[in-house]
Amino acid sequence: MAAPRHSAMLSISNASTPQSTSSDKTQVQQPQSPAGTSGLRVPSNRKTIYDRHLNRSRNAELSRASFAYLFGEMVSYAQRRVTGIQDLEKRLNEQGYPLGLRLLDLLFYRATSTSSSALSSSSTSSSPPNRPLRILTLLHLIHGPLWRLLFQRSADALEHSVSPDTPNEYMITDNEPLVNTYISVPREMSMLNCAAFVAGIIEGVCDGCGFEAKVSAHNQPTEMWPSRTVFLVRFGDSVMEREKVLERAGVK
Amino acid sequence: MSYYFTILSPTDTPIFNIAFGTSKGGGDGIARFRFPDTAQYMNQFIIHSSLDIVEEAQWTNGGMYLKHVDTYPPAAAYISAFLTPSGARFLLLHQPPQLPSGNASLGSSSLLGASGSTTRTSSSSVAANPTSPQTEEAVRQFMNEIYESYVKSAMSPFYKQGMEIRSPVFRSKVTAAGKKWL
Amino acid sequence: MTSPGDAAPVKPPPSFSPGVARVPSKSRYPDESESVHSIDPELADARSGSSPTPPLSATTAELPIRTSSPHARSVRSSTPQLARSSLGSPFDGRFDGSEDIRSLVIRAFSPTIAIHASDDTDQLTVSGKVVIRDSVGSSRAWEDYGVRFVDLKGFGRAPAGRESGRESTLTQMEEILDQELDTRERLLGASIPSKDALGVPVASPLWKLLLRQILSANPAAPHETFCHPVASVIAISSRNTAPLEALRQLYAESSTGAKRLPDWVHQEYLRYYVLVHDEERDDITESTKLYDQMKRHFGLHCHLLRLRSSQCVVTDDDSVQVPTCEWLSPQEQLSGAGEAETLVDLGTDGIPYLFESDATAIRAFIRELVVQSVIPFMENRVAVWNDQIASRRRGISGRFMSVGRRFMTFGAGARGSGTGAAGGSGNYDPTNNNYSPDTPEAILRKMADFSFMLRDWKLSASTYEMIQSDFKNDKAWGYHAGANEMCAVSMLLNPLAMSTKIKLENIDQMFENACYSYLTRCSDVPHALRSLTLAVELLKSRGGSATESAARWAMRVMDYGLVGPIGQILFTERVSACYASKIPVTGAKWGGRRRKAGMWSILAADQWLKAGKATLASACLEEAERLYGDVLEADGVFPMPEMQGFAENLRRAVKVEYLGARGFDTFDEPASEDPDTEETSERLEKIDKRNHRRSLIGLPAQLDAGTLNMTSGTRDPENPPNDDFERA
């Protein structure tokens, strides 16, 4: 069950962000399966995934309708046999998590690859970005580059909990999450926020960078932004401890 | 120069490894380590032990390429490390060929297990000095190329983090990168 | 037992024995039985008489210094045991406080006191043949120490010192000339004693043993003055008929006669006169009279030591075991070990005993010697030299650097300046490779050594640093190496000098220089080994990133092949210990070196196994498992297949060997760890084989295991353990 779901998600990720034409996409996927398994099926054109350029689709656009359709299918798929809203959100989160891990590598690859890969005449900075070591750098990475990769714009706000009891809580706000644009939540499920999927992506990114965290999506509508969503990031104790150590060591 | 390259998952599981020799300066690309063939586990021990250093460097140096992080003096083994943002570790052990002159000075360490692994004399420019800037740069290029292949592997929907990479294409990519840069 | 108060009263016939102290010490090893004998014939002197045979190197009776250490506690009651326990106590695990090692190192460099005991008539003959110059490496009185540096070190130690009386490292005698030649052999010998000790299950005592040997293996050399006498004890016995003349003669001998020290030793050292009184045969009033006379002639540096001349036996009420010397050079250790073995075989303990009263007397004497004479003397010299030479060097010529030095004469000894090698001061004599002791360079070195022994590490470090460049200019490589080494050591010992990163680099550089000069330019392996070993230990005790340097130096030792095969293994273990002592940053997961430590432990286990020491190998394996515990998954499996395979094979091999050893050898039996349960069948097989063999050899009749156990139990001491084992 997991595998097919992941594959679906991946295509979405490609779709929602960098991906291009559907034909291109399918071509990419074909070789992928042989790569992951031992029995190798080389595509007819002899091009495996390793021969394709990762940046090729970076500026390509994707049909929003197809994305909406796929995401809708994912939600309904996740909804099967769930026991409640929380369970559903958890599933969505789990779908997003591996995506976050992958996006992380892709994000950095695209930022670094400018020098070595001649194909993309990108204008990103020439020096490779650093892995985030501190919480703030990580959150800025999510708030900025990751959001742009996914939604082609930055998130709308980044806040730190003011309560002294919860110094480990941070909030990323999206006034109009793309994933929720075409989702209409029934009244009896008003607590549900399908951006739990995005929360899962964020969690994957945090975890991949070595920041153990729990991320959840919450509805915080305002008059102007009825679908405004807040992603609550709660870092684990080990992260906070390390943060102190790094603070003392002056690591940025 | 002989190389042992390993990719470790964030939980230290080996995802991929390969041993090869330099192809520069007439090298035949075959690894000749200083350990006897029966002691190849030493490469893994050395790499494993360098994780102590990698873990430390990981949080003080934000770069992906951490350069030369560790040395195992008894076998003149140098470890270079590259960290992917998602926590996979690329570790390259490189070992200059043992000079026939046997500069094991006053006595060869028993750890070396006096292997008869004297190979050709210093062959390539890269091999000359494992910590020189040229070597660092060559290793960096090598790592970057592998990183690209790795990302491609990781993007596959059928790949999950921590799985072994068994694709022969990936392996040949690594070999090619080794040939090209090392 | 001897509080300063007691010791002080010199007048009343105190008890002490200059020689005595040594006596015990010496005797304890080289000639266990002898020492005892020697005592009776001619008391202390006799002792020295007997001692001449062994080249006398260091014998020391060592009292533990540290209160906190287990030994210290027992100290009071019986010195000997202390000494022994520190020698190979099973309980200092390898993780014992670095403090321990540190104090060991410190004590290794204590002042040397030559003993020139010639006296008794008998003795004269004996001493005539051999120069008896025992140096008692001093004991530095801690309370004295406490007083001088109260703020630094006075805590806890001063009182401790007071309580336990003298924690003195007594010891070290050094036959200066003879031994210089022996160095090589001794070095070779070094690994042998450790082998002898292999029965010990825990490895760490072995390391300490090795360390001690390394530290004491060096003969006196021109380039450092630790082994040069700071003082000389001249002793006569109450039986001497012409005491004063005898003393004079001895003095003359020591300063001009046959027993004169080699030229490169500074001739100016403290003379201390001792009268040994035989309580059992001579009249105390006579002796007291004589003693008063001595005081009139020789001033304050006199002592009356009262001893009993009859041989002390274990059964005597107040017998005290003679402590074992901690600082025997490998050579002595070897001869001692041989004797010990024979004695053990006989089932008697060959350890000599002393009368409690004598021991007390000796301790009091040494204490007085050190506190009242030696230390003040050294302090005085340091002050004078610092004033006269060092400050000039620092003040004027220091600024002009070597250029200034060349044209400036300092001190009386600047002979033939200008003739030396370019840039040199000309004081260096390249043919003999030394400086004459009255040249400023030599005096500065001596001053640095003195201040080092007085534990003024700041002064010693700065002095070493100052002179090392001079030595370099003069191409006096031995001196250069020594100064570099000691400078680094002083800096590391100085508790105030914090180990900033830069300093660490400097220190590494100094050790590097020292090691290079010793090895490449002087071919002086023992000193190189010593300096590297000091580097390892002191850096390790510093903690933090210094431990990595320590590990590197230990690897360097192995790489250079400075030690024998057993030494290699011990150093391998030490590398593991160095890494293990690096603890992670608090709050973070990184910073430790567990994997490295574990790896080195595994390697050590492998080597022990190859050396046929399964017991030690299994200890190392356990250690490795402990170290790896944190980094491996719960099941303790290595992520990498070949590693795992190797580790499994090793474990299995060790187990097999270990069981085999247990089967055949009772000595190994005590080990508490049971081999694991798993491979029961394998184990049984082993045992079976063993039984078969046994039965073939000696007990052909028994076939059944049960009967075998029963009968063999009575007959063969080796079997009972087997039974237990099997049942377990």
**Residues in chain A closer than 8 A to C589 (CB atoms):** 238, 242
Chosen domain end from C562, C594, C628: C628
Report yes or no on C637 lying in a domain: no
Using DSSP bridges, classify how beta strands C229-237 and C270-278 pair: parallel, antiparallel or unpaired: parallel
Interface of B with C in 101-140 (CB under 8 A): 104-111
Residue C686 DSSP SS3:
helix
For B43, the closest chain C residue by CA position comes to C643
* Among A216-220, B94-98, C149-153, C619-623, the range of highest mean pLDDT: A216-220
Give the HSE-up count for residue A160: Cα atoms under 13 Å, Cβ half-sphere.
Answer: 9
Q: What distance in Å separates the CA atoms of residue C316 and residue C310, rounded to the nearest whole number?
A: 11
Q: What is the mean pLDDT of residues C295-303?
A: 73
Say if residue C211 is in the same domain as residue C351: yes
**Residues in chain A closer than 8 A to B84 (CB atoms):** 105, 108
Q: What pLDDT shows up at residue C9?
A: 33
Q: What pLDDT shows up at residue A207?
A: 92
Measure B60 CA to nearest chain A CA, in Å. 6
Q: What is the mean pLDDT of residues C203-224?
A: 62
Q: What distance in Å separates the CA atoms of residue C218 and residue C229, rounded to the nearest whole number?
A: 15
Say if residue C221 is in the same domain as residue C349: yes
Using DSSP bridges, classify how beta strands C229-237 and C112-117 pair: parallel, antiparallel or unpaired: parallel
Residues 6+ positions from C682 with CB-CB distance below 8 Å = C655, C656
Measure B135 CA to nearest chain C CA, in Å. 23
Q: What pLDDT shows up at residue C174?
A: 27
The answer to whether the Cβ–Cβ distance between A244 and C587 falls below 8 Å is yes
* Cα→Cα distances A29→B162, B172, C345, Å: 20, 20, 81
Fold of the domain spanning B2-181: Beta-Lactamase (3.30.450)
- Give the chains touching A; criterion: ≥3 Cβ pairs < 8 Å: B, C
Residue B35 has pLDDT above 50, yes or no: yes
Phi, psi of B70 (to 5 degrees): -150, 155
Q: What pLDDT shows up at residue A158?
A: 92
Q: What distance in Å separates the CA atoms of residue C49 and residue C118, rounded to the nearest whole number?
A: 8
Using DSSP bridges, classify how beta strands C302-307 and C270-278 pair: parallel, antiparallel or unpaired: parallel
**Residues in chain B closer than 8 A to A208 (CB atoms):** 85-87
For C569, the closest chain B residue by CA position comes to B110
Q: What pLDDT shows up at residue A138?
A: 92
The answer to whether the Cβ–Cβ distance between C589 and B55 falls below 8 Å is yes
Q: Is the distance from CB of A161 to CB of A28 less than 8 angstroms?
A: no
Residue B155 has pLDDT above 50, yes or no: yes
C380 alpha-carbon distance from chain centroid: 27
**Residues in chain B closer than 8 A to C594 (CB atoms):** 52
Higher-confidence residue of C535 and A12: namely C535
Tell me which residue in B10, B59, B158 faces A36 most closely, judged by beta carbons: B158
Least confident residue range of C210-214, C338-342, C386-390: C338-342
**Residues in chain C closer than 8 A to A241 (CB atoms):** 587-588
**Residues in chain B closer than 8 A to C631 (CB atoms):** 12, 51
* Among A20-29, A190-199, C451-460, C627-636, the range of highest mean pLDDT: A190-199
Any chain A CB within 8 A of the CB of B162? no
* Among A142-146, B31-35, C379-383, the range of highest mean pLDDT: A142-146
For chain A, what's the residue count?
A: 252
Task: Pull the structure tokens for residue C316.
Answer: 């005597």
Beginning with the edge strand found earlier in the chain, give each strand of the sheet holding B2-8 in spatial order: B14-21, B2-8, B89-95, B77-83, B65-72
Average model confidence (pLDDT) across chain C: 57
Say if residue C172 is in the same domain as residue C306: yes
Any chain A CB within 8 A of the CB of B9? no
Q: What is the CATH number of the domain that holds C441?
A: 1.25.40.10
* Among B104-113, C293-302, C512-521, C683-692, the range of highest mean pLDDT: C512-521
What value, to the nearest 5°, has the Cα angle with vertex B94 and ends C506 and C566?
65
Residues 6+ positions from C552 with CB-CB distance below 8 Å = B73
Q: What distance in Å separates the CA atoms of residue C363 and residue C367, rounded to the nearest whole number?
A: 6
Cα dihedral C78, C79, C81, C82, rounded to 10, equals 120
Phi, psi of A52 (to 5 degrees): -100, 150
CA-closest candidate to residue C191, choices C168, C209, C169: C209
Sign of the alpha-carbon torsion through A197, A198, A201, A207: negative
**Residues in chain B closer than 8 A to A108 (CB atoms):** 64, 84-85
CA-closest candidate to residue C56, choices C336, C417, C245, C448: C336
Report yes or no on C512 lying in a domain: yes
- In one-letter notation, the amino acid at residue C560 is Y
Please count the residue pairs, one from chain A and one from chain B, whose beta carbons lie less than 8 angstroms apart: 125
Q: What pLDDT shows up at residue C623?
A: 86
Higher-confidence residue of C94 and C647: namely C647
Measure B61 CA to nearest chain A CA, in Å. 8
Report yes or no on C544 lying in a domain: yes
Q: What pLDDT shows up at residue C19?
A: 32
Tell me which residue in B43, B52, B108 faces C595 most closely, judged by beta carbons: B52
Chosen domain end from C628, C661, C686: C628
Q: What pLDDT shows up at residue A63?
A: 87
Tell me which residue in B85, B147, B150 faces A209 most closely, judged by beta carbons: B85
Q: What is the pLDDT along chain A (252 residues), one digit of tens a residue?
A: 333 444 333 333 333 334 333 334 333 334 444 444 445 566 677 777 787 777 777 777 788 899 999 999 999 898 888 888 889 999 999 999 999 999 998 888 888 765 444 333 333 445 667 889 899 999 999 998 899 888 888 999 999 988 888 889 999 999 988 888 888 888 888 888 889 999 999 999 999 998 999 999 999 889 899 889 999 999 998 889 888 888 888 877
CA-closest candidate to residue C708, choices C695, C696, C697, C721: C695
Interface test with C, best of B111, B163, B164 (most C CBs within 10 A): B111
Say if residue C613 is in the same domain as residue C676: no
Neighbours of C602 (CB within 10 A): 29
Q: Which H/E stretch holds residue C344?
A: helix C330-346
Q: What pLDDT shows up at residue C292?
A: 80
Say if residue C195 is in the same domain as residue C291: yes
Residue B142 has pLDDT above 70, yes or no: yes
CA-closest candidate to residue C223, choices C441, C385, C453, C418: C441
Least confident residue range of B83-87, C399-403, C474-478, C609-613: C399-403
Residue C166 has pLDDT above 50, yes or no: no
Helices C525-542/C98-108 angle, 10° precision: 140
The answer to whether the Cβ–Cβ distance between A48 and B149 falls below 8 Å is no
DSSP B63-103: -SEEEEEEEEGGGTEEEEEEE-TTS-EEEEEEEPPBPTT--
Report yes or no on C459 lying in a domain: yes
Q: What is the mean pLDDT of residues C404-418?
A: 38
Using DSSP bridges, classify how beta strands A213-219 and B14-21 pair: parallel, antiparallel or unpaired: unpaired
* Cα→Cα distances C239→B112, C242, C296, C488, C533, Å: 64, 9, 20, 49, 47
Chosen domain end from C370, C388, C415: C370
- Give the chains touching C; criterion: ≥3 Cβ pairs < 8 Å: A, B
pLDDT confidence bin for C497, thresholds 50/70/90: low
Residue C528 has pLDDT above 90, yes or no: no
Least confident residue range of A25-29, A186-190, C511-515, C661-665: A25-29
The answer to whether the Cβ–Cβ distance between A105 and B151 falls below 8 Å is yes
Q: What pLDDT shows up at residue B146?
A: 92
Q: What is the mean pLDDT of residues B39-64?
A: 86
Residue C141 has pLDDT above 50, yes or no: no
Q: What pLDDT shows up at residue C108?
A: 52
Q: What pLDDT shows up at residue A70?
A: 92
Q: What pLDDT shows up at residue C238?
A: 64
Residue C684 has pLDDT above 60, yes or no: no
Q: What distance in Å separates the CA atoms of residue B146 and residue B92, rounded to the nearest whole number?
A: 11
Q: What pLDDT shows up at residue C192?
A: 36
Measure C587 CA to nearest chain A CA, in Å. 5
Q: What pLDDT shows up at residue B8?
A: 92
Q: What is the mean pLDDT of residues C336-350?
A: 40
Higher-confidence residue of C115 and A12: namely C115
The three-state (H, E, C) secondary structure of C250-287, written as one string: HHHHHHCCCCCCCCCCCCCCEEEEEEEEECCCCCHHHH
Q: What pLDDT shows up at residue C126?
A: 28
Measure B140 CA to nearest chain C CA, in Å. 24
Measure C589 CA to nearest chain A CA, in Å. 8
The domain limits of chain B are 2-181
Higher-confidence residue of C354 and C297: namely C297
Q: Is the distance from CB of C687 to CB of C663 less than 8 angstroms?
A: yes
Please count the residue pairs, one from chain A and one from chain C, whose beta carbons lie less than 8 angstroms apart: 11
Residue C189 has pLDDT above 70, yes or no: no
Q: What is the mean pLDDT of residues C337-341?
A: 41
Tell me which residue in C559, C568, C631 faces B105 most closely, judged by beta carbons: C559
Q: Is the distance from CB of C291 to CB of C304 less than 8 angstroms?
A: yes
Q: What pLDDT shows up at residue C220?
A: 54
Q: What distance in Å separates the CA atoms of residue A154 and residue C166, rounded to the nearest whole number?
A: 76
Q: What pLDDT shows up at residue C182?
A: 35
Q: What distance in Å separates the CA atoms of residue A200 and residue A12, rounded to the nearest whole number?
A: 14
**Residues in chain B closer than 8 A to A48 (CB atoms):** 167, 169
Sign of the alpha-carbon torsion through A177, A182, A184, A189: negative
Question: Which residue has tokens 């939980």?
Answer: B11
The answer to whether the Cβ–Cβ distance between A242 and C586 falls below 8 Å is no
Residue C555 has pLDDT above 60, yes or no: yes
For C596, the closest chain B residue by CA position comes to B49
pLDDT confidence bin for C186, thresholds 50/70/90: very low
The answer to whether the Cβ–Cβ distance between A244 and C585 falls below 8 Å is no
- Give the chains touching B; criterion: ≥3 Cβ pairs < 8 Å: A, C
Say if residue C364 is in the same domain as residue C221: yes
Q: Is the distance from CB of A213 to CB of A206 less than 8 angstroms?
A: yes
Q: What pLDDT shows up at residue C206?
A: 66
Measure A39 CA to nearest chain C CA, in Å. 23
Residue C376 has pLDDT above 90, yes or no: no
Q: What distance in Å separates the CA atoms of residue C465 and residue C460, rounded to the nearest whole number?
A: 8
Measure A239 CA to nearest chain C CA, in Å. 9
Task: Pull the structure tokens for residue C373.
Answer: 């004479």
Residue A155 DSSP SS3:
coil
Say if residue C612 is in the same domain as residue C656: no
Q: What pLDDT shows up at residue A18?
A: 40
pLDDT confidence bin for C509, thresholds 50/70/90: confident
CA-closest candidate to residue C663, choices C706, C612, C725, C606: C725
Report yes or no on C375 lying in a domain: no
pLDDT confidence bin for B112, thresholds 50/70/90: very low
Say if residue C413 is in the same domain as residue C454: yes
For A243, the closest chain B residue by CA position comes to B59
Q: What domains does chain A contain, in order, with CATH numbers?
A: 2-20+56-249 (3.30.1380.20)
End-to-end CA distance of chain B: 9
Average model confidence (pLDDT) across chain B: 79
Residue C57 has pLDDT above 60, yes or no: no
CB-count burial class (<10 Å; 0-12, 13-18, 19+) for C51 = buried
The answer to whether the Cβ–Cβ distance between A36 and B148 falls below 8 Å is no
Q: What is the mean pLDDT of residues C108-136?
A: 34
pLDDT confidence bin for C307, thresholds 50/70/90: low
Question: What residue numbers bound the domain in which C28 lies?
Answer: 4-370
Q: What pLDDT shows up at residue C432?
A: 65
Say if residue C139 is in the same domain as residue C186: yes
Residues 6+ positions from C101 with CB-CB distance below 8 Å = C208, C211, C537, C540, C541
Ranges of H-type helices in C387-524: 391-392, 398-407, 440-453, 457-473, 477-493, 501-516
The answer to whether the Cβ–Cβ distance between C586 and A245 falls below 8 Å is yes
Say if residue C389 is in the same domain as residue C358: no
Residue C598 has pLDDT above 60, yes or no: yes
CA-closest candidate to residue A195, choices A170, A211, A177: A177
Least confident residue range of C187-191, C305-309, C391-395: C187-191
* Among B6-10, C440-444, C624-628, C668-672, the range of highest mean pLDDT: B6-10
Q: What total of structural domains would you count in chain C?
A: 3
Q: What is the mean pLDDT of residues C483-489?
A: 85
**Residues in chain B closer than 8 A to C595 (CB atoms):** 48-52
CA-closest candidate to residue C659, choices C614, C628, C711, C720: C614
Q: Which H/E stretch holds residue B150?
A: helix B133-155
Give the HSE-up count for residue C88: Cα atoms under 13 Å, Cβ half-sphere.
Answer: 16
Residue C526 has pLDDT above 50, yes or no: yes
Q: What pLDDT shows up at residue A230?
A: 93
Interface test with C, best of A134, A239, A240, A242 (most C CBs within 10 A): A242
Residues C538-549: pLDDT tens digits? 888 777 778 888
Q: What pLDDT shows up at residue C425?
A: 52
Say if residue C495 is in the same domain as residue C551: yes
Residue C81 has pLDDT above 80, yes or no: no
Say if residue C64 is in the same domain as residue C194: yes
In chain C, what percentage of residues exceed pLDDT 70? 36
Task: Pull the structure tokens for residue C128.
Answer: 């005539």
pLDDT confidence bin for C27, thresholds 50/70/90: very low
Higher-confidence residue of C162 and A40: namely A40
